[in-house]
Amino acid sequence: MTVETPSPTNTPERAAVAAGAQEWLETLQSWVRIPSVSADPDHHADVAASARFLAGELRAKGFPEVKVLDEGPWLPAVLAHWPSGDPAAVRVVVYGHHDVQPADGVERWTHPPFEPRIIDGILHGRGASDDKGNIAMHLLGLSAHLSATGRTAPAVDLTMLVEGEEESGSPHILELLQAYRSELDADLVVVSDTGIFGPETPSVCIGMRGLVAGEIHVHGPDIDLHSGSFGGAVPNPIAELSRILAALHDDDRHVAVTGFYDDVVDPTEAERAATAALPFDERAWISGPAASRVPAGEAGWTTLERVGARPTAEINGIWGGYTGPGNKTIVPTDAYAKLTFRLVGRQDPATIQKLVTDFVQATARPGVEVEIHWEGSGVAPLYVDTTHPATTATRRALGLAFDTDEVLMTREGGSGPEAELAGVIGAPLVFLGVMTDADQIHAPNESASVPLLLKGCEAVAHLWRELAELGRAGLE
Amino acid sequence: MTVETPSPTNTPERAAVAAGAQEWLETLQSWVRIPSVSADPDHHADVAASARFLAGELRAKGFPEVKVLDEGPWLPAVLAHWPSGDPAAVRVVVYGHHDVQPADGVERWTHPPFEPRIIDGILHGRGASDDKGNIAMHLLGLSAHLSATGRTAPAVDLTMLVEGEEESGSPHILELLQAYRSELDADLVVVSDTGIFGPETPSVCIGMRGLVAGEIHVHGPDIDLHSGSFGGAVPNPIAELSRILAALHDDDRHVAVTGFYDDVVDPTEAERAATAALPFDERAWISGPAASRVPAGEAGWTTLERVGARPTAEINGIWGGYTGPGNKTIVPTDAYAKLTFRLVGRQDPATIQKLVTDFVQATARPGVEVEIHWEGSGVAPLYVDTTHPATTATRRALGLAFDTDEVLMTREGGSGPEAELAGVIGAPLVFLGVMTDADQIHAPNESASVPLLLKGCEAVAHLWRELAELGRAGLE
């Protein structure tokens, strides 16, 4: 499918983005300085400060109605409205998040995570890309839209919903959406929390995986035991945990949880062919962004399918027993592991939680107490309607910003609360984001490419104009 | 086999122990206050302080020659000599250690580990039993021996060798023994670092298992990767480590390392019958000292055999990836585990290290870098000659202290450098120690029973007299 894109031009949107870039980058850096780590209670005051910062910027930009939503079980979110003034205008909700991943392993950061700076066109800092950079695009993008169109209000009814718990799995997103449902009537949801295929290859995301996250706790002896006096005669919780974790995959790296694949929808032959045709350099990917030695995953599927179209079981952390210097000859009391499962097709988070819980309990042997604690209710997979006019408009906007008429459609391996968003708001959903694998978004040394962020700002400005031209009727 | 023991009497040794107990307990508590954790470099100054403390006490006791050995690769050890004055006297080397296990998990200690106190006849503190308590028995035991016999020098040529690295696997014991070999000529080695069957059931140890300790390191991606963008397509080091650890045992909990059992010597039917006849209450052991729910170990063997006669593979610690609050959706860079293997029969530490290394490398899959680092060269299993006169003398001494003529012989599951000691010194070896399972010696809340420690002091005093009565000829 080809999208007709106007020839590359030096548009007024681009000129406006260029004019505002310097000041905007200062603002973004000030925001990145706030360590809004939602996973860590010690940083919850920073999450609140980050919400207040964004609210202030939205007000300064001209949004007539801006609220910090801090009276629910959720961490502070921001909700802002700027109506177009035209009752027939397209109503858009922009979604993203202002919380960031933890920055642990600080010794592995070349630049301190919360002291952002720009070196050779790269903005370094936790949140520079995910998601402060991609949400900030809407600040400069809106200015460019107003400047390019000569308007004093956006050409679409604009609502921004920026939550503060996405990096913790959006545990309260449903409650948040329901509490403010009356302010979220929309014809389209625009999510800015994804990426493009590559710096030279713009693309829109057309699918995200679902996610459930849990923690397994295996309890063995009630006290650390001398491994000489007791070892070999009582269950060792680390050995039992290892056994459970090893059983999660079979030798072909299929997930071995009974029933796990029941609701997976396999890609069609045409989809597989399209994926295979993408300009993907696996070798460069492995040694570059994947920083690994060999691809390794579920037998029968390619790397791009493994990260986009297939569900996974991943172990994110493990701990137990003695981890200090030297050795300590104990049978320890406890062992723990953190797990996440990525979901696709019609896999349902609650069903997967139950299947995994059952599997873990069935795999555990007598003599240890095994519990699995699920973090919230998880999120379902989401798929974009690739033929919807809003999808086409988004590709066109991105193509204009990137001076190309080739804008790919790809599946993203990550997860967010998009299924909840689309479900509660009851509107189609598109993704507009410019992250790349080079951004190392959940790792030490997160960064963002400034030229790509500015292209993202420009695409935002184009999108509001494109949507206004389509009109509400054009989206039906 | 029955040992003829004099009828229980209120011996002069017992009276002398009782008279000196109060002052001795003060000394022991001062020693326990020094956190001589050999595994932790931050505590190496404390290990040196502990050696100096013991040296001072030995000098005060009357030892004419006392040295702190601190000029080798080892942590400071203490070597002291007190000749009997009789060229025909039995020459004894007493071995033990003054370093202690780490006290991590301080929040699980009811009493702070290095602030010893005595409550209801129990001395609480790290090292109260293992091994400061059991080595300190030789201070009061020697006084009681001198007082009871009216001598000004011991009736045996007494050498004390107390090392500072036992809890770290005695990595330099061979070098230490070789460096001071000329001062270690002996007819008997007495090791005070083991226990008795129970508070009412004195016993001597007649075997200790060998030990090798290592750390596995699995390296995956060079940076933490977003588990959505990369998970399922690159190897996860925690999953690979779990797979290796799970493969260490088969479903019957036999160690699955190829060749592992080749040099194991199975107990005879008579030995199995003797072990089965021991007054062992498995149920009480599981819910009491083992603080567990069910016995679990190698199929085909009883609990006592599993901890005494059989070799084991135990995982002592594990860590990797994100272990903080909430979740972090990463494929982490690295995973680590600490392992110990207990050895029996003719199992050779170097051979086992090689077999395990080969097994781990053969089990690891492509795409991760797997290394196993061995902590020193390990220690070999050791067996006591149960018919040797020194073994009989030790049982008799213990029987006198416990007012019984029943002194059992048991195998200890733990490990120490006894094989090296016996080998380098070239003398028979006996064990005299009064630890019990209740002491929680490698766990939080280590403690020692004061009445048992005092019985141990008394047994020391009896043993020197018994050995002097036997004479050097009687030991040949």
Long-range contacts of A49-55 (CB under 8 A, 24+ apart): A50/A76, A50/A98, A50/A99, A50/A164, A51/A75, A51/A76, A51/A77, A51/A78, A51/A98, A51/A162, A51/A164, A52/A76, A54/A78, A54/A98, A54/A135, A54/A162, A55/A80
For an interface test with A, the pick among B130, B234, B248, B275 (most A C-beta atoms closer than 10 Å) comes out as: B234
pLDDT at A3: 42
Chain A residues with CB-CB distance to B327 below 8 A: 39, 168-169, 213, 215, 316, 338, 340, 375
| B297 at interface of A, judged by CB pairs closer than 8 A | yes
For an interface test with A, the pick among B329, B333, B343, B418 (most A C-beta atoms closer than 10 Å) comes out as: B329
Chain A residues with CB-CB distance to B441 below 8 A: 226, 229
SS3 B137: helix
Residue B10 scores a pLDDT above 90: no
Tell whether A181 and A222 lie within a shared domain. no
Determine whether the interchain pair B442/A102 forms a contact, defined as Cβ–Cβ distance below 8 Å: no
- For residue A214, being part of any structural domain is answered with yes
- For residue B290, being part of any structural domain is answered with no
Q: Say if strands B369-374 and B210-219 run parallel, antiparallel, or are unpaired.
A: antiparallel
- For residue B36, being part of any structural domain is answered with yes
Determine whether the interchain pair B316/A338 forms a contact, defined as Cβ–Cβ distance below 8 Å: no
Chain B residues with CB-CB distance to A337 below 8 A: 238
- For residue A112, being part of any structural domain is answered with yes
Q: Could you give the angle at which helices A132-149 and A12-32 cross, rounded to 10 degrees?
A: 150
Residue B5 scores a pLDDT above 80: no
Residue A177 scores a pLDDT above 80: yes
CA B4 to each of CA A8, B393, B394: distance values in angstroms, whole numbers, following the listed order: 105, 10, 12
Tell whether B24 and B166 lie within a shared domain. yes
pLDDT at A37: 97
Tell whether B139 and B225 lie within a shared domain. no
Nearest Cα to B124, choosing from B135, B134, B113?
Answer: B113
Chain B residues with CB-CB distance to A327 below 8 A: 39, 168-169, 213, 215, 316, 338, 340, 375
- For residue A294, being part of any structural domain is answered with no
Chain B residues with CB-CB distance to A366 below 8 A: 293-294, 296
- For residue A227, being part of any structural domain is answered with yes
Q: How confident is the model at residue A199 (pLDDT cuts 50, 70, 90)?
A: very high
The reply to whether ipTM tops 0.85 is: no
A192, two tokens: 């800015």
Residue B274 scores a pLDDT above 90: no
Residues 299-358 of A with CB under 8 A from B: 303, 306-307, 310, 312, 314-332, 335-338, 340, 342
For an interface test with B, the pick among A101, A234, A253 (most B C-beta atoms closer than 10 Å) comes out as: A234
pLDDT at A9: 61
Nearest CB to A292 within list B108, B234, B316: B234
Tell whether A53 and A84 lie within a shared domain. yes
Stretch B352-367: mean pLDDT, rounded? 97
Determine whether the interchain pair A41/B325 forms a contact, defined as Cβ–Cβ distance below 8 Å: yes
Chain A residues with CB-CB distance to B215 below 8 A: 327
Task: Count CB neighbours of A350 within 10 A.
Answer: 12
Residue A252 scores a pLDDT above 80: yes
Chain B residues with CB-CB distance to A375 below 8 A: 326-327
Chain A residues with CB-CB distance to B225 below 8 A: 290-291, 442-443
Determine whether the interchain pair B316/A328 forms a contact, defined as Cβ–Cβ distance below 8 Å: yes
pLDDT at B389: 97
Cα distance between residue B443 and residue B435, in whole Å: 14
Residue A1 scores a pLDDT above 70: no
Determine whether the interchain pair A367/B342 forms a contact, defined as Cβ–Cβ distance below 8 Å: no
pLDDT (tens digit per residue) in A327-372: 888 999 999 999 999 999 999 999 999 999 999 999 999 999 999 9
H or E element at residue B25: helix B12-32
pLDDT at A399: 97
Q: Say if strands A312-321 and A157-163 run parallel, antiparallel, or are unpaired.
A: unpaired
For an interface test with B, the pick among A165, A227, A319, A447 (most B C-beta atoms closer than 10 Å) comes out as: A227
| A438 at interface of B, judged by CB pairs closer than 8 A | no
Determine whether the interchain pair B169/A327 forms a contact, defined as Cβ–Cβ distance below 8 Å: yes
- For residue B419, being part of any structural domain is answered with yes
Contacts of A22 (CB under 8 A, 6+ apart): none
Stretch B171-192: mean pLDDT, rounded? 95
Determine whether the interchain pair A246/B249 forms a contact, defined as Cβ–Cβ distance below 8 Å: no
pLDDT (tens digit per residue) in A122-139: 999 999 999 999 999 999
Nearest CB to B327 within list A169, A303, A445: A169
Give the distance, in angstroms, between the CA of residue B158 and the centroid of all CA atoms in the same chain. Answer: 22
Which CATH number do you get for residue B330? 3.30.70.360
Tell whether A167 and A63 lie within a shared domain. yes
Nearest CB to B220 within list A222, A292, A327: A292
Q: What are phi and psi of B41, to 5 degrees?
A: -55, -30
If you compute the radius of gyration of chain B from its CA atoms, what whole number of angstroms results?
23
Nearest Cα to A104, choosing from A431, A361, A442?
Answer: A442
Tell whether B108 and B247 lie within a shared domain. no
Tell whether B188 and B229 lie within a shared domain. no
Stretch A7-35: mean pLDDT, rounded? 92
The distance of A414 to chain B (nearest Cα, Å) reads 4
**Chain A residue at shortest CA distance from B366:** A294
pLDDT at A120: 96
- Look at chain A and report how many structural domains it folds into: 2
Cα distance between residue B210 and residue B11, in whole Å: 38
pLDDT at B168: 87
- For residue B1, being part of any structural domain is answered with no
| A443 at interface of B, judged by CB pairs closer than 8 A | yes
- Round the average pLDDT of chain A to a whole number and report it: 94
Q: Say if strands B157-163 and B91-97 run parallel, antiparallel, or are unpaired.
A: parallel
Cα distance between residue B82 and residue A273, in whole Å: 87
pLDDT (tens digit per residue) in B382-414: 999 999 999 999 999 999 999 999 999 988 888
For an interface test with B, the pick among A211, A292, A333, A435 (most B C-beta atoms closer than 10 Å) comes out as: A292
Which CATH number do you get for residue A135? 3.40.630.10
**Chain B residue at shortest CA distance from A250:** B243
Tell whether B156 and B131 lie within a shared domain. yes
A469, two tokens: 């031209």
Chain B residues with CB-CB distance to A413 below 8 A: 226, 228-232
Examine the fold and report which residue of A338, A354, A374 is the final residue of a domain before the chain moves on: A374
Chain A residues with CB-CB distance to B131 below 8 A: none
Examine the fold and report which residue of B355, B374, B393 is the final residue of a domain before the chain moves on: B374
Residue A428 scores a pLDDT above 60: yes
Residue A2 scores a pLDDT above 70: no
Determine whether the interchain pair B102/A328 forms a contact, defined as Cβ–Cβ distance below 8 Å: yes
Examine the fold and report which residue of B325, B352, B374 is the final residue of a domain before the chain moves on: B374
pLDDT at A308: 87
- Round the average pLDDT of chain B to a whole number and report it: 94
Indicate the pTM of the whole model. 0.81
Cα distance between residue B417 and residue A432, in whole Å: 66
Q: Which amino acid is at A182?
A: S
Residue A317 scores a pLDDT above 80: yes
Tell whether B420 and B366 lie within a shared domain. no
Chain B residues with CB-CB distance to A243 below 8 A: 242, 246
Stretch B21-43: mean pLDDT, rounded? 97
Residues 102-141 of A with CB under 8 A from B: 102, 104-105, 108
Count of A–B CB contacts within 8 Å? 371
Chain A residues with CB-CB distance to B320 below 8 A: 317-319
Range of the domain at A465: 12-208+381-474
Residues 271-290 of A with CB under 8 A from B: 286, 289-290
Q: How confident is the model at residue B243 (pLDDT cuts 50, 70, 90)?
A: very high
pLDDT at B9: 61
| A256 at interface of B, judged by CB pairs closer than 8 A | no
Tell whether B370 and B427 lie within a shared domain. no
Nearest CB to A307 within list B230, B238, B247: B230
Determine whether the interchain pair B296/A231 forms a contact, defined as Cβ–Cβ distance below 8 Å: no
Chain B residues with CB-CB distance to A109 below 8 A: none
pLDDT at B279: 86
Contact yes or no for B69/B181 (Cβ under 8 A):
no
Residue B270 scores a pLDDT above 80: yes
Tell whether A362 and A346 lie within a shared domain. yes
Determine whether the interchain pair A327/B38 forms a contact, defined as Cβ–Cβ distance below 8 Å: no
Determine whether the interchain pair A367/B328 forms a contact, defined as Cβ–Cβ distance below 8 Å: no
A307, two tokens: 């990260």
> Which DSSP letter does residue B438 get?
G
Tell whether B222 and B117 lie within a shared domain. no
